[in-house]
């Protein structure tokens, strides 16, 4: 899987494009754990995969930046409905 690093250095910086590059890397990292081995001619190199928690933190930051850049809200609240939230006028009403 080739990584297009140009999205991180492009002007103006687009967090949504960077997010589209980072997400597949994260899923590949968590779906294929373990030591990787690369052999080229007579040399063999083994390496452990990166830290998925760090990459997830980067993804969360990029999601927030992308939502802010596109004007979308990332969080919302669910309420129990319209109406008074306290007992105005009637102290026994809850």
State the Cα angle at 58 between 55 and 64, rounded to 5°. 145
Q: pLDDT, tens digit, for every residue of 32-60?
A: 777 777 788 888 888 777 778 888 888 89
Domain count, the chain: 1
Residue 29 pLDDT: 81
pLDDT digits (tens, 9 = 90+) for 5-33: 677 777 787 888 888 888 888 888 888 77
Does the pTM surpass 0.95? The reply is: no
Q: How does pLDDT run across 65-79, given as a tens digit for each residue?
A: 888 887 776 565 666
Radius of gyration of the chain (CA): 23
Domain containing residue 29: 1-94
Sorted by sequence, the CB contacts under 8 Å of residue 46 that are 6+ apart come out as 35, 36, 37, 38
* Average pLDDT of the chain to the nearest whole number: 76
């Amino acid at each position: 899987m080739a990584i297009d690093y140009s999205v991180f250095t492009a002007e103006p910086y687009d967090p949504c494009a960077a997010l589209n590059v980072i997400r597949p890397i994260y899923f590949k990292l968590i779906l294929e754990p373990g030591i990787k081995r690369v052999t080229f001619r007579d040399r063999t190199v083994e390496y452990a995969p990166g830290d998925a928690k760090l990459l997830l933190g980067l993804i969360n930051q990029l999601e927030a930046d992308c939502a802010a850049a596109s004007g979308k809200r990332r969080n919302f609240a669910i309420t129990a409905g319209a109406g008074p939230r306290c007992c105005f006028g009637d102290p026994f009403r809850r």
